[in-house]
């Protein structure tokens, strides 16, 4: 049954999730001003699914139950599903101008579903059956699940088993008859605090010596031994300022990351999807990474649409909208943004069925998509900052614009002076101009940058990770043969 955004928020209140921030435990994290904007983002994904205008994009018919489910918990059944996923992500980005945090779970579902099928095929295990029953539970209850892959990793030159501290990669500490006990952490976890459940995957391909680190499972966010430490963002404490509004930029929505710690957590057998089968760790990682790199051709494009609109508004408000160089910059921003979208649609269109039956994207094109995302958003932001002007980062505070403190020889208030000297085009008020500049500051440099600029670089793997996959998938040897055939080389 599909929940409303309000019902989703209320469902979080029923959880006993342990959250820490600034060295203190946060009891009412649902209403905390620094966390709530990220919860509002997720609520949008629920409300859009119930909006008749977006039903086709936001929902799908489950191949497991036959019921209508939110597309964020759907297993892709065709290339059309893969394309709708990207279009849905663009829509959500347009509506929030931030990270809406459900993509990692959706991408994890599809990677774990197909991988467990092939593990069972080889070893006769019950992982696939376990996962199917788990996903039915998720779909029937319309839950948010955090797909958790990234380990702290410690010394990058050492394998998991060779780390001085064995907990720097999440590991199986104990194997029991009824399940396993795990210890370690997952870091940079998007939407972890706002999720009902966590779906854990290994972080890299592994060898036999790393057997105890090859693990995948599901766990409730408030399970015994699980706790989270909130990751702060630039300008985040502005949300704690009394009466803050204009200075927040994007007041309603925001992203969220956290360190998720597993302090000797018990996982029952029916929630285990990988347990020591090291040769399948790489498959799970590669498939998840492919899906998640496809995702960036949707979500970042939606946010990019809003940035382009904000930059165009800034040009209007500055009185520079008719300048040819400004028009050209907006064209370039649009060109870059639509190129990202092309990549997301292309890798979806070239998708193919896995042995399990769900559809996988074209891995080469998905990695090309994400490689472009590590570059183009930076240029889009640079151009937006160019159009906005330096006032974006030098203007006085919102309190100054509202101050009634009298200064100067003409009995003017600080507010009067600020509103006078920062006025521009008659098409807008000074406050409207300040709002759009603060919005651009927030999305280009502040807390929303986590969901756009910086996250475009490191989300779904670093740029080098995509280049490695492009090298593997590029098939240089076949290209050599093409050249040899035309050049007459036998």
Biggest alpha carbon distance in the chain? 90
Dihedral in degrees, nearest 10, Cα atoms 59, 61, 64, 70: 10
Output the pLDDT for position 450: 73
Each residue's pLDDT tens digit, 433-490: 999 999 999 999 877 767 788 889 999 998 999 999 999 999 999 999 999 999 999 9
Residue 103 is a catalytic residue: yes
H or E element: which one contains 260? strand 257-268
> Choosing from 79, 150, 190, 203, which is the catalytic residue?
190
Output the pLDDT for position 449: 65
DSSP secondary structure of 400-421:
HHH---EETTTTEEHHHHHHHH
List the chain residues with pLDDT less than 70.
449
Q: CA 109, 111, 113: angle at the middle one, nearest 5?
A: 65
Residue 296 is a catalytic residue: yes
Residue 235 is a catalytic residue: no
pTM above 0.95, yes or no: yes
> Choosing from 117, 213, 296, 317, which is the catalytic residue?
296
> Choosing from 257, 277, 286, 398, which is the catalytic residue?
257
- Domains of the chain by range and CATH? 286-476 (1.20.140.10)
Residue 332 is a catalytic residue: no
Q: Are 422 and 434 a contacting pair, CB within 8 Å?
A: yes
Dihedral in degrees, nearest 10, Cα atoms 113, 117, 118, 121: 170
Tokens linked to 166: 């064995």
Tokens linked to 9: 């928020």
> Choosing from 41, 103, 369, 444, which is the catalytic residue?
103
Residue 455 is a catalytic residue: yes
> Choosing from 115, 292, 343, 374, which is the catalytic residue?
292
Each residue's pLDDT tens digit, 180-239: 999 999 999 999 999 999 999 999 999 999 999 999 999 999 999 999 999 998 889 999
Tokens linked to 334: 């649009």
Residue 187 is a catalytic residue: no
């Amino acid at each position: 049954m599909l929940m409303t955004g309000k019902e989703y928020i209320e469902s979080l209140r029923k959880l006993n999730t342990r959250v820490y921030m600034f060295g203190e435990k946060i009891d009412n994290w649902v209403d905390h001003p620094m966390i709530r904007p990220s919860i509002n983002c997720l609520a949008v994904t629920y409300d859009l699914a119930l909006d008749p205008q977006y039903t086709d994009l936001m929902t799908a018919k489950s191949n497991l139950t036959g019921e209508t489910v939110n597309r964020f918990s759907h297993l892709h059944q065709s290339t059309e599903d893969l394309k709708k996923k990207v279009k849905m992500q663009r829509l959500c980005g347009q509506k929030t101008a931030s990270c809406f945090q459900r993509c990692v779970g959706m991408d994890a579902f599809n990677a774990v579903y197909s991988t467990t099928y092939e593990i069972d095929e080889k070893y006769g295990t019950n992982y696939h059956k376990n996962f199917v029953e788990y996903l039915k539970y998720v779909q029937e209850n319309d839950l948010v699940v955090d797909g958790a892959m990234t380990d702290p990793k410690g010394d990058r030159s050492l394998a998991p088993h060779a780390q001085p501290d064995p907990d720097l990669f999440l590991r199986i500490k104990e194997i029991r008859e009824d399940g396993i006990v795990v210890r370690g952490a997952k870091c940079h976890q998007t939407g972890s605090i706002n999720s009902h459940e966590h779906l854990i995957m290994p972080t890299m391909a592994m060898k036999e010596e790393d057997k105890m680190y090859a693990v995948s499972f599901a766990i409730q966010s408030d399970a015994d031994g699980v706790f989270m430490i909130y990751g702060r963002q630039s300008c985040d404490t502005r949300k704690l300022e009394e009466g803050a509004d204009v200075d927040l930029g994007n007041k309603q929505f925001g992203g969220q990351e956290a360190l998720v710690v597993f302090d000797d957590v018990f996982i029952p057998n029916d929630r285990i999807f990988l347990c020591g089968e090291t040769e399948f760790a790489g498959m799970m990682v590669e498939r998840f990474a492919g899906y998640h790199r496809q995702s960036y051709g949707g979500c970042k494009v939606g946010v990019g649409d809003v940035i382009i609109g904000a930059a165009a508004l800034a040009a209007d408000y500055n009185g520079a909208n008719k300048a040819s160089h400004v028009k050209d910059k907006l064209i370039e921003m649009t060109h870059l943004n639509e190129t990202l979208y092309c990549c997301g649609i292309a890798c979806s269109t070239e998708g193919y069925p896995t042995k399990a039956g769900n559809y996988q994207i074209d891995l080469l094109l998905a990695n090309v998509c994400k490689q472009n995302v590590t570059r183009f958003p930076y240029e889009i932001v640079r151009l937006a900052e160019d159009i906005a002007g330096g006032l974006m980062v030098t203007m006085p505070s919102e309190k100054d614009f509202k101050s009634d403190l009298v200064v100067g020889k003409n009995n003017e208030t600080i507010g009067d002076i600020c509103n006078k000297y920062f006025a521009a085009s008659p098409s807008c008020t000074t406050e409207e101009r300040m709002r759009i500049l603060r919005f651009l500051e927030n999305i280009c440099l502040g807390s929303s940058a986590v969901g756009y600029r910086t996250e475009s670089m490191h989300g779904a793997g670093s740029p080098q990770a995509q280049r490695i996959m492009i090298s593997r998938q590029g098939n240089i040897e076949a290209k050599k043969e093409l050249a040899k055939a035309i050049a007459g080389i036998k």
